[in-house]
Amino acid sequence: MRFIKLLLLLICIALFSCKDQNSESMTHPFTNDLINETSPYLLQHAHNPVNWKAWNSKTLAEAKESQKLLLISVGYAACHWCHVMEHESFEDSLVAQLMNANFINIKVDREERPDIDQIYMTAVQLMTGRGGWPMNVIALPDGRPIWGGTYFKKEQWISALNQISKLYKENPEKLIEYANKLEQGIKSVDIVALNTNTPVFELDFIEEAVIKWSKQFDNHNGGLNRAPKFMMPNNYHFLLRYAHQNKDEMLMDFVNLTLTKMAYGGVYDQIGGGFSRYSVDPIWHVPHFEKMLYDNAQLVSLYSDAYLKTKKPIYKDVVVETLAFIEQEMMTNNGAFYSSYDADSETKNGELEEGAYYVWQKEDLKLALKEDFDLFSDYYNINDYGFWEHNNYVLIRKDDDEYILKKYNITSEVLTNKKKYWKESLTIIRNTRPKPRLDDKSLTSWNALMLKGYIDAFRVFGNKHYLDIAIKNAEFILSKQLREDGGLYHNFKNGKSTINGYLEDYATTIQAFLDLYEQTLNEKWLFTARDLTNYVFDHFQDDKSKMFYFTSDEDDKLVSRSIEYTDNVIPASNSIMAKNLFKLSHYFDNEHFSKTAVTMLNNVKPEIQKYGSGYSNWLDLMLNYTVPFYEVAIVGEAVFTKIFEFNAFYLPNKIVAGSSQKNTMPLLKNRYLENETLIYVCVDNTCKLPVSDVENAINLLKN
* 10-residue averages of pLDDT along the chain (703 residues): 34 32 45 92 96 95 95 93 94 96 96 95 92 95 95 96 95 93 87 93 96 96 95 97 97 98 98 96 96 98 98 98 97 96 90 93 96 97 96 96 96 96 96 95 98 98 98 98 97 95 98 98 98 98 96 92 94 98 97 98 93 95 96 96 96 96 94 94 89 93 79
The count of other CB atoms within 10 Å of the CB of residue 444 is 27
Q: What are the extents of the domains in the chain?
A: 1-29, 31-189, 203-346+439-616, 358-432, 630-702
Neighbours of 199 (CB within 10 A): 13
Do β-strands 630-635 and 654-659 pair in parallel, antiparallel, or remain unpaired?
Answer: parallel
Total residues found in the chain within this entry: 703
Asked if domains 31-189 and 203-346+439-616 share a fold, the reply is no
ω before 134 within 30° of 0 (cis)?
A: yes
Q: Collapsing DSSP states into helix, strand and coil, what is residue 634?
A: strand
Residue 22: exposure state from Cβ atoms within 10 A (0-12, 13-18, ≥19):
exposed
- Which residues neighbour 32 within 8 Å (Cβ) at sequence distance 6 or greater? 45, 46, 47, 48, 50, 51, 52, 53
Q: Beta-carbon neighbour count of residue 153 at 10 Å? A: 12
DSSP state, residue 220: T
Give yes or no for a contact between 466 and 454, defined as CB atoms under 8 angstroms apart.
yes
From the CA atom positions of the chain, what is the Rg in Å? Answer: 27
Those residues with Cβ within 8 angstroms of residue 479's Cβ, 6 or more apart along the chain or in another chain:
none
pTM value is: 0.93
Nearest-5° Cα angle at 512, 200 to 453: 105
Q: 566-599 burial, b if ≥16 CB within 10 A, otherwise e?
A: bbebbbbbbbbbbbbbbbbbbbbebeebbebbbb
User: What does the DSSP 8-state code read for residue 620?
Assistant: H
- Cβ distance 599 to 542 under 8 Å? no
**657-690 as b/e, with b when 16 or more CB fall inside 10 Å?**
bbbeeebebebbeebbeeeebbbbbbeeeebbeb
End-to-end Cα, the chain, rounded Å: 93
Question: In angstroms, rounded to a whole number, what is the distance separating the alpha carbons of residues 240 and 9?
Answer: 64
Which of 650, 695, 694 is CA-nearest to residue 308? 650
Q: Which CATH superfamily is domain 31-189 in?
A: Glutaredoxin (3.40.30.10)
- We find that the CATH architecture of domain 203-346+439-616 is Alpha/alpha barrel (1.50)
Q: How far is CA 197 from CA 542, 604, 605, in A?
A: 19, 12, 11
Angle at 409 between CA 404 and CA 414, to 5 degrees: 75
293-310 and 444-461 helices, crossing angle to 10°:
20
Give the distance from CA 388 to its chain's centroid.
27
